[in-house]
Amino acid sequence: MGAVVAGLGTSFPPQADQDTLWRDYFEKHYTGAAQSLARRIFAHSGVRTRSAAVSPLLEDVSGWSTERRMRRYQVEAMPLGKEAVARALTESGVAADEIGLFAVCSCTGYATPGLDIMLARDMGMSPSVQRLFVGHMGCYAALPGLGAVSDFVAARGRPALLLCAELTSLHIQPPGARADTQQIVAHALFSDAAAAVVVRPGGRGYAVREVAAVTDTSTADHMTWEMTDLGFRMGLSPRVPNVLALHVRGLVDGLLGRHGLTVADVDGWAVHPGGPRILSTVEEQLALPPDALDASKATLAAHGNCSSPTVLLVLDALRSRPEPPRSIVMLAFGPGLTLYATLLGWDEAG
């Protein structure tokens, strides 16, 4: 019996308008040439609003130590994760103590005991629940996470739960006059969110048909997430879309071909909106219709790039349509450079 997505829940900290964030914080964060460049990047980010558990409009964390940021992570991530998990469990009809595996993905904070232990306790999961923490995989982590819980469900015949929770707002870097494009892009795009998915054996819902990946280690330096004394620092090369262009068509064609499908057979695309250039590259390489990535573009505009939860936010938007798609390809990208793809197919009965 295969693994089926039975419930999905999301949660967000308070939102802020992108223009307000620029005017009331980031415009003052940069000076000289950096300010001029940042103004253009913020204006063309594709982001309209985004969320921050620790808003720069209220607290400037850019000078905080990593220790202080990590302590705050646990405080803010717990209620965010709890809300997403509760919503996913409610929709699925699965009780917390029925969960056999609880997997948590996050690259923006670490603590022991962590979210997996504390949320399992607070949500009433069984003491025998198995736990898995996936750290530092970045924006694509939801898909290997989904693969892990789906494999558990298929092998054990028990429900599993995946939570992706990210607080990128804790990693704003110190200001400077030097025009560091990579940091400016990160500051313009990233946001906070949590998304949880309950997967069960069989039943009505989106069946997880396959999870596939390709990693180009020759471009490992194109995307980095380095621990520093002042939080985690993003490295984001402008060449990332070029690498995606080399691999995304082959990955998708291979995945679909193994199931007797082509790109034309897919009526739902949940593509991680890493930024406008990422989406335009995927659209071009897959020769998609102009409206195929509307859900991804709308997610970027409303929520920004929330790292690992983001592709699940796009999936939630697709399944909430008046006529949800029958087949969905999920795509997400991150350090490695790594591309992950997942095929979902609607199943009436399991």
Pairing status of strand 223-228 against strand 205-215: unpaired
Contact 198, 6 (CB under 8 A): yes
The one catalytic residue in 107, 139, 164, 306 is 139
Is pLDDT above 80 for 176? no
Q: The tokens of 304 are what? A: 């920004």
Q: Is 139 a catalytic residue?
A: yes
Report the number of secondary-structure helices (H) and strands (E) in the chain: 11, 13
Domains, the chain, in order of start with CATH, read 3-201 (3.40.47.10), 205-347 (3.40.47.10)
Q: What is the mean pLDDT of the chain?
A: 96
Q: Which of 18-22, 35-39, 179-183 has the highest mean pLDDT?
A: 18-22
Rounded to an integer, what distance in angstroms lies between the CA atom of residue 287 and that of residue 264? 9
Q: Report how far residue 229's alpha carbon sits from residue 212's, in angstroms, rounded to the nearest whole number.
A: 35
Predicted confidence band at 32 (pLDDT cuts at 50, 70, 90)?
A: confident
Determine the pLDDT at residue 249: 98
pTM over 0.85: yes
Over 90: is that where the pLDDT of 120 sits? yes
pLDDT score of 350 more than 60: no
Inter-CA distances, 68 with 75, 112, 165, 183, 225, Å: 11, 15, 18, 21, 18
